[in-house]
Amino acid sequence: AVVGTLQMSFIPGLSNQGAELALVSAVRVGSSLRGQGLGQAMMQWAMDEARRRGCRHIELFTHLSRVDAQRFYERLGFVRSHAGMRRAL
């Protein structure tokens, strides 16, 4: 059974001596399984994979309304750094 997912993209960069940027989005853990360390394990895997690929930074997207998720990411060492914008096409 699928218990959680995340999407990770690697974006070639010009800054940081051409290092790729790891971008994480769509992190989800089944509601009945939250609080058991699955999200932390998934994010640790993502950070380890980004390091393995030579990324110097990892960024993630989370909706402003997801306050609990933001606290979770801050506990993992993420800091608020960018303001995102979106537009329907």
- Per DSSP, the three-state class of 30 is coil
Going by their DSSP bridges, the two strands 21-29 and 57-60 should be labelled as: parallel
Q: How many CB atoms lie within 10 A of CB 28?
A: 15
- The pLDDT assigned to 13 comes to 82
Per-residue pLDDT tens for 5-31? 999 999 998 877 778 999 999 999 998
Neighbouring CB atoms inside 10 A of 22's CB total 22
pLDDT, tens digit (0-9, with 9 covering 90-100), for 27-82: 999 989 999 999 999 999 999 999 999 999 999 988 889 999 999 999 999 999 98
Question: Other CB atoms closer than 10 Å to residue 18's CB: what's the count?
Answer: 9
pTM, full prediction:
0.86
Residue 43 near residue 4, CB atoms below 8 Å: no
What's the pLDDT at 14? 81
